[in-house]
Amino acid sequence: MAVDDTYTKLLLHMDGANASTTFTDEAGKTITAVGNAQISTAQSKFGGASGLFDGTGDYLSVPDNDDWDFWGGDFTVDFWVYPTSAVGYHIIYWHGGTGGVSSSGYIYLYGNNTSNTIQFGAVNAGTAYFDLYPATYDISVNTWTHVAIVKSGTTIYCFINGVSKTPLYGTQLSGSMTTLTGDLHIGDRVSDGWSPFVGNIDEFRVSKGIARWTANFTPPTRAYEPVETDDSNTKFLLHCDGTNASTTFTDNATTPKTVTANGNAQLATAQKEFGTASGLFDGTGDYLSVPDSDDWAFGTGDFTIDFWFYLTTFNASQYVTFVSQGPDSNNFFQIQILENGATDNAYIAEVAGGVVLTTGGGSLGVNIAINTWYHFAVSRIGGDIRFFVNGVNNLTVTGVTGSFANHTGNFVVGRNDYNTTQYVYGYIDEFRVSKGVGRWFNNFAPPTVAYAGVVPSGPANLKTINGLVKASIKTINGVAIGSIKSINGLQ
């Protein structure tokens, strides 16, 4: 069992054999199936199965836990739902009491006989802390819909298939919230069986202490899973989290390095892909510097540099250098992009002693838009260096045989260091340097959470199979992945 990150307090994939009553929480809590609640392979969003609730006393019960007392802080509850009824109320989530002066937190569907809307809130001793719903009925019967309820500070969001539903009607946030007690129920209300859910639920997650989305997003395209990062190959990892305007950037690699913010480089909570913040660079002297290390000497080995970026300025013929090292034009390493019209370019360069050891680039096949988050990855495997934008490889530099030099000087994020130009105008998040491994060979789904977790067992140098992170694959042709020693020569 493994959750996708430390904020995840409940994660139900709803996978298993048809008609099984065993529901497994990846966070390790005990789940009891009540009534006829069971796994069904007739419907699933991911994994081949989902939870089936027939509306006659079916629900999942989870013991009381402090993890359910999240309503007063930041939180996210998200899931996929496939209702088969649009008549009246249908409970999705309930924790707390049921009486008129009780305290509880809840999420339920309400149907207009054709489709459903979502209503959610929390009650403190009979007084609503908040009770909200959108005006539209966007949750159709016999259709999978992604729902996310998010609280960030004093702002509450409701997303249906990644689209924020505004305005929200009902009782707005007011007062404070007490500690709730009692078992958590999924699919029915506690004790009295009022308005049970009818249909299927998949990929149900409770996240405490984090607002995972505060703007429109693309719903997940696969089941939540641990992301392989905290391994011996990760030499540098910046989550770029912290308080707004802080100049403290923390390296979360196993052996952390000192990071110095230069110019006005700082953390900003205004934009982020994950966590609480990202790194802000204003394009006029801002960059991060990290002392020289053998970890930057890639030699002839594989490596990966990947991160998220969000540019606020990207004009015609403008170069943006994301990473560089080297004291002068005869000795440097850098990765950069160039605004080049309809399809922008990317380049990697490695020069030592005035000799060009590696240089290459070309079209990324993407027109980089401003004010948009992109995942960017450069992955070397053998003699090929692949560039990925949002998991898609449209550019590969082939025939790379030279060794990447052990340059001197700081490793720099946010500008071309040797000539102090080509600054980043915008934000960077989740910046990672991996040495000794090319993490991606085929197209892949970009990470959906901040990097966390452990590399799973199986062939040590094989990180993805057909673009799937290895952690999500249990068997290949019926053979347990832990027993496979090599695949296509990769060990």
Q: Which of helix, strand or coil describes residue 482?
A: helix
Q: Is the pLDDT higher at 125 or at 163?
A: 163
Please compute the mean of the pLDDT values over residues 261-282 and round it to a whole number. 95
Same domain? 259 vs 165: no
Residue 225 in any domain: the answer is: no
**pLDDT at 477 > cutoff 70:** no
Residue 460 in any domain: the answer is: no
Write out the DSSP string of 11-69: EE---SSTT-----BTT----EEETT-EEESSS-SSTT-EEEEESSS-EEEE---GGG-
What is the per-residue pLDDT for 126? 84
User: Which residues share a beta bridge with 50?
Assistant: 40
Q: Is the pLDDT higher at 103 or at 76?
A: 76
Q: Spell out the residues 6+ positions from residue 82 whose beta carbon is closer than 8 angstroms to its own.
A: 43, 45, 50, 142, 143, 144, 145, 199, 200, 201, 202
Residue 276 in any domain: the answer is: yes
What is the per-residue pLDDT for 486? 36
What distance in Å separates the CA atoms of residue 431 and residue 410, rounded to the nearest whole number? 16
What distance in Å separates the CA atoms of residue 59 and residue 56, rounded to the nearest whole number? 9
Give the total residue count for the chain: 491
Query: Which domain, by its residues, includes 256?
Result: 234-455
Cβ(375)–Cβ(355) below 8 Å: no
Q: Which of helix, strand or coil describes residue 127?
A: strand
Cβ(58)–Cβ(39) below 8 Å: no
Same domain? 408 vs 329: yes
* Banded model confidence at residue 4, pLDDT cuts 50, 70, 90: low
Rounded to an integer, what is the distance from CA 182 to the centroid of its chain?
A: 31
Same domain? 264 vs 168: no
Cα 278 to Cα 154, 271, 401, distances in angstroms: 21, 6, 36
Measured torsion, CA atoms of residues 439, 444, 448, 451, in degrees rounded to the nearest 10: 0
Residue 208 in tokens: 């405490």
Q: Which of helix, strand or coil describes residue 429?
A: strand
Report phi then psi at 67, rounded to 5. Answer: -65, -20
Q: Which of helix, strand or coil describes residue 193?
A: coil
Cα 144 to Cα 25, 45, 124, 158, 295, distances in angstroms: 21, 7, 32, 17, 46
Same domain? 301 vs 382: yes
Verdict on whether the full-model pTM lies above 0.85: no
Same domain? 450 vs 410: yes
Question: For residue 178, what is the DSSP state?
Answer: P
Residue 280 in any domain: the answer is: yes
Question: For residue 339, what is the DSSP state?
Answer: -
Q: What CATH number did the domain enclosing 71 receive?
A: 2.60.120.200
Residue 378 in any domain: the answer is: yes
Q: Spell out the residues 6+ positions from residue 489 whose beta carbon is closer than 8 angstroms to its own.
A: none
Residue 225 in tokens: 């899973």
pLDDT tens column, 309-350: 999 999 989 999 999 998 888 889 999 999 988 788 888 888
Residue 3 in any domain: the answer is: no
Question: 377, exposed or middle or buried, with CB in 10 Å at 0-12, 13-18, 19+?
Answer: buried
* Banded model confidence at residue 457, pLDDT cuts 50, 70, 90: very low
Residue 128 in any domain: the answer is: yes
Domains identified in the chain, total number? 2
Cβ(418)–Cβ(352) below 8 Å: no
Q: Is the pLDDT higher at 36 or at 487?
A: 36
Greatest Cα pair distance in the chain = 79
The dihedral built from the CA positions of residue 195, 199, 205 and 210, taken in this order, carries a sign that is: negative
Residue after which a domain boundary falls, among 173, 208, 243: 208
Same domain? 373 vs 449: yes
Cβ(185)–Cβ(206) below 8 Å: no
Same domain? 167 vs 70: yes
Same domain? 60 vs 191: yes
Please compute the mean of the pLDDT values over residues 46-61 and round it to a whole number. 94
**pLDDT at 208 > cutoff 90:** yes
Cβ(61)–Cβ(31) below 8 Å: yes
Q: Is the pLDDT higher at 264 or at 96?
A: 264
Same domain? 323 vs 201: no
Q: Which of helix, strand or coil describes residue 297?
A: coil
Same domain? 74 vs 109: yes
Same domain? 243 vs 175: no
Residue 477 in any domain: the answer is: no
Same domain? 267 vs 318: yes
Measured torsion, CA atoms of residues 252, 258, 261, 262, in degrees rounded to the nearest 10: -150
Measured torsion, CA atoms of residues 294, 298, 303, 306, in degrees rounded to the nearest 10: 60
Please compute the mean of the pLDDT values over residues 403-418 and round it to a whole number. 91
